[in-house]
Amino acid sequence: MYNYSLNKSAKREPVDLEKRRNILLYGLLCGMVLLVFRSIYLQVLDREFLQAKAVMQHVDELSVSAYRGKIVDRNGEPLAVSSPVQSIWTNPQELKDAEPQQLKRVEQILDLPAGKLAQLQDPTSKRRFAYIIRRINPDLAEQVKNLDVPGIYFEREFKRYYPAGAISAHLVGFTNVDDIGQEGLELGFEEALKERPGKQRVIRDGIRRVIAEVENVKEPEDGRDLQLSIDQRIQYLAFRELQNALLDNNAKAVTMVVLDAKTGEILAAANQPSFNPNTRKHPPGTIFKNQAITDVFEPGSTVKPFVVAAALDGNYVDPNIEIETHGSFAIGRHMVKDVHNYGTLTLTETLKKSSNVAASKIALQMPPKYFWEVYHKLGFGVAPELGFPGEARGSLTNYRHWHAFDQAVVSFGYGVSCSILQLARAYTAFADDGLLHSVTLLKREVDDRAQRVFSAKTAVQVRDMLETVVNRDGTAFQARVDGYRVAGKTGTVKKLSAAGGYTDDKYLGLFVGMAPASNPRLVIAVMVDEPNAGKYYGGLVAAPAFSKVMTGALRIMGIAPDQEESMPILLVKKEQH
């Protein structure tokens, strides 16, 4: 077989090398011609294909930051602003090329845990994006940028800052790390305040660096600014005096609302204890909601002026009526009691002494439907519609479910609930001659929604009666304001027990008042929750804070005194309710 193969190869014809070379040259020439034609086709006739490929590989869209709207007080003082900051992120696929010493230096500058960046260098990871740190001082970001670490990039963002800190914290609220409102006005007006980021088309190089800006796909849209009715100077006064009241009375909490009696604007709404909205680290149990607007309670004797006004306005009692109290009043199987036997009382003395018996007898002179309608018109059981998250509507049982005793207890503030804001609002009906104002957190000049609840004659009559409460033999002598006439009412309320009924050792101390009483401009309501320093009557725990804030607020607003001579300092009589 070996010889056979040799014999066959010996007979093979010689190879034509020239022919092969020509075939190869023709093949190469045809290939070159085809490439030229293909190049012309792609670049001239079908160039959109290559352009699309280029866009896919090198053109990108970046988010363009916008400002969240500012929150300012009525005088333009900033309460919430957005400051430009830097966030640092990385592409882990590129970070693996960074030197260990570079990463260590970045961790030192940013005060990061040692080895945090090394963990992102995991070769098995498929991640292409991870935040290293967000919203830091631009100076720190510049130090990191100077290190020129591969895989580390920078993004401009905004950080929310609250110049007033704890003073307006419960009112303004705060945002989260993504600048979305979480509490207070930041949450309630999120749609108006929030920014709409834009989009920008850019060209990147092979290592993803931006080398050119192509066009703005979408312009960024800043959030709208919000101007509040709040006067930060008065808000500070309220905050400071509530802090003092909290400590002096060893109370669980205190809250205050200051209203403009002519426009219904909320000039201050403060709570203690408070918190710092500029930090995300808060003690356990920190309350972020504004209790002046969101929490309800039974208002106690502070509603008695409404009972008197309703009876006078409906002609159900004579202005000169004298009411026998005798210290107690039986209604069916139930008994209404006073702290003392006040004997025979006029309407003025009913409010001055804060008699439950007299208030009950007056209330029972009115038809249940009429009496209920007056309370309802005053805003009890109706949400104030501020746009504030969680605002309370309170409760007012329908008159159809009332028995005589139910109607009686409502007359001295039990069986009905409201927020301190709702209570302050109701008093605008006395302050503005029978007109009840709607309330607002936004600055305005006129209240177009004011409604008449009482006649001007009745409102002035009751306001005059309320001035006697602040006299030295009334229940709120400590509410006086030097140089101004003050009208108001105290309340001391037993708190509900978790086991049912009312406690014997937990109280709310209340005072609601207005000044100058001749033509009131301000209404202030104060509540002290669970005072534990030996005093709990509203005239002793809430009235002093009212006096100090009212004194400062009247001066801030430049309201002239209406009392020529200062009231002499006399011994304070112990309050009854």
> Six-digit token pair at 491?
């309340």
Q: Report the 10 Å Cβ neighbour count for 364.
A: 17
Q: Tell me the sheet residues that pair with 221.
A: 196
For strands 78-90 and 130-136, give the pairing: antiparallel
Name the token pair of 111.
């005060």
What's the mean pLDDT in 456-484? Answer: 95
- If you compute the radius of gyration of the chain from its CA atoms, what whole number of angstroms results? 38
Chain center to CA of 253:
18
Q: What is the 3-state secondary structure (H, E, C) of 317-340?
A: CCCCCCEECCCEEEECCEEEECCC
Handedness of CA 296, 298, 301, 305 (dihedral sign): positive
Task: Give yes or no for residue 564 having a pLDDT over 60.
Answer: yes
User: Which domains, ranges and CATH numbers included, belong to the chain?
Assistant: 62-226 (3.90.1310.10), 232-275+287-556 (3.40.710.10)
- Rounded to an integer, what distance in angstroms lies between the CA atom of residue 390 and that of residue 378? 20
* Percent of the chain at pLDDT exceeding 90: 62
- Phi/psi at 93 (5° precision): -70, -25
The pLDDT score that the predictor gives to residue 574 is 44
Identify the CA nearest to 302 among candidates 481, 27, 524. Answer: 524
The single residue listed with the structure tokens 């746009």 is 387
What values do phi and psi take at 201, rounded to 5?
Answer: -90, 130
SS3 of 356-375: the string is HHHHHHHHCCCCHHHHHHHH
- List the single range of 77-81, 90-94, 130-134 with lowest mean pLDDT: 90-94
Judged by average pLDDT, the poorest of 111-115, 201-205, 400-404, 411-415 is: 201-205
393 and 381 Cβ atoms separated by less than 8 Å: yes
Out of 101-115, 297-311, 495-509, pick the least confident.
101-115
| Segment 123-169, tens digit of pLDDT | 666 777 788 888 788 888 888 888 888 878 887 778 899 999 999 99
Cα separation, 429 vs 191, whole angstroms: 33
The C-alpha atoms of residue 140 and residue 52 are separated, in whole angstroms, by 39
Strand partners of residue 515? 522
The string over 210-245, giving b where at least 16 C-beta atoms fall within 10 Å of a residue's C-beta and e elsewhere, is eeeeeeeeeebebbebbbbbbbbbbbbbbbbbbbeb
Contact present, 311 and 317 (Cβ < 8 Å): yes
Instruction: Write out the DSSP string of 457-509.
Output: HHHHHHHHHHHGGGSTTSS-GGG-BTTB--EEEEEEEEEEPTTSSEEEEEEEE
Give the model's confidence band at 364: pLDDT under 50 very low, under 70 low, under 90 confident, else very high: very high
Nearest to 103, CA basis, from 206, 94, 277, 366: 94
Residues 513, 545 contacting (CB under 8 angstroms):
no
Q: Pick the most confident of 31-45, 200-214, 307-321.
A: 307-321
Cβ atoms within 10 Å, residue 77? 16
Residues 319 and 339 sit within 8 Å (Cβ to Cβ)? no
Q: How many other C-beta atoms can be found within 10 angstroms of the C-beta atom of residue 76?
A: 10
**In one letter, which amino acid is 530?**
E
CA atoms within 13 A on the CB side of 346: 10
With cut-offs at 50, 70 and 90, classify the pLDDT of residue 576: very low
The set of residues, in sequence order, having a beta carbon less than 8 Å from that of 536 and lying 6+ positions away, is: 492, 507, 509
Kindly list the strands in the beta sheet with 522-529, ordered across the sheet, starting from the edge strand earlier in the chain.
266-272, 253-260, 522-529, 502-515, 487-496
Spot the catalytic one: 65, 82, 168, 301: 301
Give the DSSP letter of residue 408: H
Report how far residue 409's alpha carbon sits from residue 507's, in angstroms, rounded to the nearest whole number.
17
pLDDT band at 44 (very low <50, low <70, confident <90, very high): low
The pLDDT, as a whole number, for residue 50 is 57
Rounded CA separation 189/448 (Å): 22
Looking at 159-272, list the stretches that DSSP marks H as alpha helix, in order from N- to C-terminal side: 169-172, 184-188, 190-193, 232-248
For the chain, how many residues are written? 577
Cα–Cα distance for residue pair 237/275, rounded to 1 Å: 17
> What pLDDT does 87 receive?
84
| 6 pLDDT more than 60 | no
Q: Please, is 495 exposed, middle or buried when counting C-beta atoms within 10 Å of its C-beta (0-12, 13-18, 19+)? A: middle
What are the tokens at 86?
């830097």
- Per-residue pLDDT at 260 exceeds 80: yes
Let me know if 354 is a catalytic residue.
Answer: no
- Higher-pLDDT residue of 62 and 239 is 239
The contacts of residue 35 (CB under 8 Å, 6+ apart) are none
Q: Residue 455 corresponds to which tokens in the numbers above?
A: 């006649």
pLDDT in tens, 311-335: 999 999 999 999 999 999 999 999 9
Provide the 3-class DSSP secondary structure of residue 153: strand
The residues near 553 (Cβ < 8 Å, ≥ 6 apart) are 234, 237, 258, 267, 268, 522, 524
What mean pLDDT do residues 378-405 have?
Answer: 95
The predicted pLDDT at position 141 comes to 82
The Cα 188–Cα 245 span in angstroms is 29
